[in-house]
Amino acid sequence: MSAIIKALKYGFIGALGAVGTLVIGTHAIAADSDGPVGSAGDQVKKFRQLGTELPSPNAYRSASGAPGPAYWQQSVDYTIDAVLDEDERTITAESEIVYTNNSPDALNYLWVALDQNRFKDGSMARTSAVASAAGSRRGDGAGGEDSYSFGALRYEQAMEDREYGFEFKAIMDGEGETLPYVINDTMMRIDLPEPLAPDASVTIQIDWVHNIIDEVAVGGRGGYEYFEEEDNYIFGLAQWFPRLAAYTDYTGWQNKQFLGRGEFTLEFGDYDVNLTVPSDHIVAATGVLQNPREVMTAEQRRRMDKAGTEKPVYIVTPEEAEENEKTKAKGMKTWRYSAENVRDFAWSSSRKYIWDAMLFEQDDDVNPVVTAMSFFPKEADPIWSQYSTQAVVHTMDVYNKFAFNYPYPTAQSVNSWERGGMEYPMITFNGYRPSEDEKSGEVVYSRNIKYGLIGVIIHEIGHIYFPMTVNSDERRWTWMDEGLNSFLEYMAEYEWEEDFPISGGQQNPLDVITRYMTSDGQVPIMTQSDSVLQFGPNAYSKPAASLIVLRETVMGRELFDFAFREYATRWKFKRPTPADFFRIMEDASAVDLDWFWRGWYYTTDHVDVAVTSMREYQISTQNPEIEFDMDREEDAVRRPENIVQRRNREEGIKTRVSRYSELKDFYNENDKFTVTNADRNKYQSFLKDLDDWERKAYDRAMEDGKYLYFVDFENIGGLITPLPVTLEYANGRMEDMMIPAEIWRRNSEFVTKLIIRDEPVVSIRLDEAHQTADADYSNNTFPPSIASDRLKLKQSNYKRSNMMADALAELKGDDKKDADSKVVPLSTDVEKAETVEAVNDNDSDNDGDTASDASEAEKPKARKDRESALKRTLKRMMNRD
């Protein structure tokens, strides 16, 4: 054994920086793995390669995660003629479907998805709903006490009042011959007269009618919203036609029943759709309008031609829309739309719509210019005019960097309902609207409404990339489009403005997701969509958070961004599976991520790592002339004078030795740290025994004077994670370092890291930037720090919900006398438009008049009669053509 190995001196870093000495010798290191493979004590299982969890590569899907040489997918083309009966709230339609079999299999039958049948009496979705899901929009429920709400009552009454689901008038082949079919809940099997061979096509004619659901009462991904005061409707039509189910290499027919939660995987194809609606309606739809001269006025077409890239222009102005909704036309018009290579078709129709447009330019040979548009009623303004189309353009701008150029000629945001969002090719349905303040009559909106609107539009437009283009299967793996898209939504929100309240009103989603990841009733991300518990965090927030950790902490931006773009590009207009995503991210980055996918996606572990101990050493000189003096000083710190001796001296008690000097001897003159000749001889012997290379290393170590720190980390939460640490030096300097996750590869519960530095460290802090989703930061510092907070002497029931409305509240009590100096950031003056923008940005007071300065003649009702609050706010917020 080399002598230098034994020459370590250490000090335990504590609150007072106490130092001691210890001679360290070599010792056997205990085995890191406590048990056999697969046992509870198997410490290396978290780093085992994903084996049976992933399907084996094959000719359809390669080991690199790319489509294989024999990859295939079906194609389905649709020609549809549909009529909207506004008064009866029904759709009557005829469709011709051309199905092409690109698979290697002969098909005896075709499965067709009938999503409207989810709302039929006796459907599996309705009959399998638990009591706590009564009246819920997606049929969700998680137990709880017996209860029944007005929402549930309205839902049941809506179901009693109308019959929902498809009613078929004809199902025929291309020759007009009736085809046999069987309906199984939300799926219909059409039996073919002869097997459809590979590379062959078949034509099917389906004619149907169905009642449109009351979306507000029933809740779904489409339907109508009724405005009783003016007797008008907004129709958002989705899942409105029979759609061919997907037939895939990994599951055959995807004919799992639609229960309300698991969304859709469909086939790509071309659509020609004729939509006949009341002649005063404005229609937004998937695809490109083919007959603008027949359905748009000359002025509307002129305005569309004026659309540019700087700001939106109105195609239908707020004034025109408000006038249009006052009467109902008796005639009908047909809007003709064509869409190429899309997997679905949706549309919306209403006479209430304001319509604006803006252009987005991209470096793309197929779609160099994209027309971004928004459609919304007056109830959605002013925030929709202000933000919607800008958010559409911003989404494409950011997503193009992470994925690929926007693949279609149009991108649309439609306010077809009051809340929520849903995506379809080239068109999205989005909620969020302002409200009128009851006391002032002003149109106001909360911070949540503003950022909720921007966020939902980014999210739903983002879905046009995932899964409308990268065609993942949400019926099986919800996270593949919701999670990946939520991650990109976060990236776009970071680029919208700093401190964007991305999740739970906070700017860091990693601080929010920990509450879910430490909660009860979790299931792994890789759970089939209809069985997911706590759907929002499981399918959206957790996978999105995982990708932030993967990009910012595990892989780094350069490697992650390249690999993610490779995944998006390889699977553009194709159908990936989780294994394809996992494999590409590794294949394109040379980063082994099996431990990451296993922990984040296949378990419910969470991140909670503690810094439990830190010990400081320097290499000992072993020279007694140096070391013994240091030992004496360190001993005095570690073992202070005992309390009895100190108090005896303070009381003037004399020791016997001090009173009788003849009792003193050698040991009274020399303490235990006195250097002897034997000590000096031992040091010389130590130097003599060193090999040449050891003496050279020793001399250099004495000159360097480095500090060695042994830091203990404990994995409490179970989820493997890198360790971003910050070292604080005695001179106040900070240093960041990243310890890779591979440090846990031999022991996933406890590790010790050796850190060597040139200067003394006074503390170590783990994950200062909150970049790992650590659930408990109280154990992330050594030495531990004191937690500080504030206590309220009395709790208040007041909660800030709508800052604009709160700013209009009249000052009371002692604050009233200071009203002249306390500025309400909303002004009734048109010239004070900037104050509204300022209140959106921060909570501070802004220059402007207070709302309470209005005279009695300007009471809210009188002001409303003179000029509507909507128009006043519109004037303040925009000056748009």
| Whether residue 554 has pLDDT greater than 50 | yes
Secondary structure (3-state) at 694: helix
Mean pLDDT on 401-407: 98
Q: How many CA atoms are closer than 13 Å to the CA of 718, on its beta-carbon side?
A: 14
733: pLDDT confidence band, cut at 50, 70 and 90? very high
Whether 324 and 462 have beta carbons less than 8 Å apart is answered as no
Decide: 560 and 589 in contact? Cβ < 8 Å.
yes
Other Cβ atoms closer than 10 A to 274: 17
pLDDT at res. 794 = 85
How high is the mean pLDDT of the chain?
A: 88
560 phi/psi in degrees, rounded to 5: -65, -50
- DSSP secondary structure of 256-308: ----SSS---B-BEEEEEEEEEETT-EEEESSEES-HHHHS-HHHHHHHHH--
Q: What is the pLDDT of residue 818?
A: 56
Overall average pLDDT of the 345-372 stretch: 98
Write down the pLDDT at residue 149: 84
Helix (H, G, I), strand (E, B) or coil at 592: coil
Kindly report which listed range (425-434, 523-532, 591-600, 856-865) carries the lowest average pLDDT score: 856-865
620: closest CA among 138, 22, 167?
22
pLDDT of 12 reads 44
User: Which pLDDT band holds residue 810 (cuts at 50, 70, 90)?
Assistant: confident
Cβ atoms of 492 and 503 closer than 8 Å: no
State the Cα–Cα distance between residues 687 and 7, nearest whole angstrom.
12
CB within 8 A of 456, min separation 6: which ones?
420, 421, 430, 431, 432
Q: Where is pLDDT greater, at 40 or 48?
A: 48
Q: Give the pLDDT of residue 868.
A: 56
pLDDT of 405 over the 80 cut: yes
Residue 826: the pLDDT is 47
Q: Is the pLDDT of residue 278 over 90?
A: yes
From residue 3, how far is each of 684, 689, 694 by CA, in Å? 12, 8, 9
Whole-angstrom distance, CA of residue 473 vs CA of residue 105: 21
Residue 113: is its pLDDT beyond 60? yes
H helices present in 6-143, as ranges: 124-127
Tally of CB atoms within 10 A around 744? 25
pTM, two decimal places: 0.88
DSSP bridge partners of 89 = none
pLDDT at 35 over 90: no
Report, in angstroms and rounded to the nearest whole number, the Rg of the chain calculated over CA atoms: 35
Neighbouring C-beta atoms of residue 834, cutoff 10 Å: 14
- Spatial separation of the C-alpha atoms in residues 484 and 491, rounded to whole Å: 11
For residue 80, give the H/E element and its range.
strand 75-85
The H or E element spanning position 84 is strand 75-85
Quick count: other Cβ atoms within 10 Å of Cβ 418? Answer: 14
What six digits make up the tokens of 51? 């084996």
Give the Cα separation of 165 and 559 in Å (integer): 48
Two structure tokens written together for 752: 């010790």
CB 849 within 8 A of CB 832: yes
Residue 6 clears pLDDT 60, i.e. is over it: no
Give the pLDDT band (50/70/90) at residue 24. Answer: very low
Which residues share a beta bridge with 110? 190
pLDDT tens-place string over residues 427-437: 999 999 999 88
CA–CA–CA angle 839, 840, 843 (5° rounding): 50
Cα(461)–Cα(426) distance, rounded to whole angstroms? Answer: 8
Identify the pLDDT of residue 127. 87
101 CA to centre of own chain: 37
Question: Residue 739's beta-bridge partner residues?
Answer: 723
Extract long-range pairs of 159-163: CB within 8 Å, 24+ residues apart. Answer: 159/119, 159/121, 159/126, 159/218, 162/211, 162/214, 163/120, 163/121, 163/211
pLDDT tens column, 179-233: 999 999 999 999 999 999 999 999 999 999 999 999 888 888 899 999 999 999 9
pLDDT category of residue 440 using cuts at 50, 70 and 90: confident
Please give the distance of CA 161 from its chain centroid, rounded to a whole number.
Answer: 39
User: What is the reported pLDDT for 530?
Assistant: 87
pLDDT above 90 covers a percentage of the chain that reads: 73
Interacting residues of 305 by C-beta distance below 8 A, sequence separation 6+: none
pLDDT of residue 21: 36
DSSP for 771-803 reads -S-BS-GGGSEES---------SS--------H
Contact criterion met (CB below 8 Å) for 392 and 416: no
**Residue 701 CA to its chain's centroid (Å):** 50
Residues pairing with 424 in the sheet: 427
pLDDT tens for 221-265 read 899 999 999 999 999 999 999 999 999 999 999 988 988 888 888
Closest CA relative to residue 77, chosen from 210, 346, 266: 266
For residue 276, what pLDDT is reported? Answer: 98
Which stretch of 501-515, 545-559, 828-842 has the lowest confidence by average pLDDT?
A: 828-842
Which residue reads 């209005």 in tokens? 854
Q: What pLDDT is attached to residue 26? A: 34
Q: Give the other-Cβ count within 10 Å of 343's Cβ.
A: 23
Q: Under the phi-then-psi rule, with left for phi > 0, alpha for psi from -120 to 50, and beta for the rest, what region is 223? A: left
CA–CA distance, 104 with 273 (Å, rounded to integer): 30
What is the distance in angstroms between the CA of the first residue and the CA of the last residue of the chain? 86
Which of the four pLDDT bands, split at 50, 70 and 90, describes residue 700? very high
Contacts of 876 (CB under 8 A, 6+ apart): 382, 827, 830, 832, 833, 836
With 80 as the cut, is the pLDDT of residue 841 above it?
no
Q: C-alpha angle 474/478/479, rounded to 5°? A: 130
Q: Which tops the pLDDT comparison, 262 or 700? A: 700
pLDDT tens profile 763-800: 999 999 999 999 999 999 999 988 888 888 888 887 77
Collect all residues with Cβ–Cβ distance below 8 Å to 117 and sequence separation of at least 6: 123, 165, 166, 183, 185, 186, 258
> In angstroms, rounded to a whole number, what is the distance separating the alpha carbons of residues 196 and 110?
9
Separation of alpha carbons 129 and 216, rounded Å: 19
Other CB atoms within 10 A of residue 326 CB: 9
Tokens for 724?
A: 């971003």
Confidence band of 154 (pLDDT split at 50, 70, 90) = confident
Q: Comparing C-alpha atoms, which of 247, 495, 538 is closest to residue 395?
A: 495
Judged by DSSP in three states, 205 sits in strand
pLDDT tier for residue 450 given thresholds of 50, 70 and 90: very high
Closest of 430, 493, 415, 496 to residue 461, by C-alpha: 430
- CA angle (286 as vertex; 282, 292 as ends), nearest 5: 45
- Residue 348, helix vs strand vs coil: strand
Q: What are phi and psi of 232, to 5 degrees?
A: -130, 160
3-class DSSP state for residue 314?
Answer: strand
Query: CA 36, 42, 47: angle at the middle one, nearest 5?
Result: 120
Q: How far apart are CA 275 and CA 286, in angstroms?
A: 11
Length of the chain (residues):
881
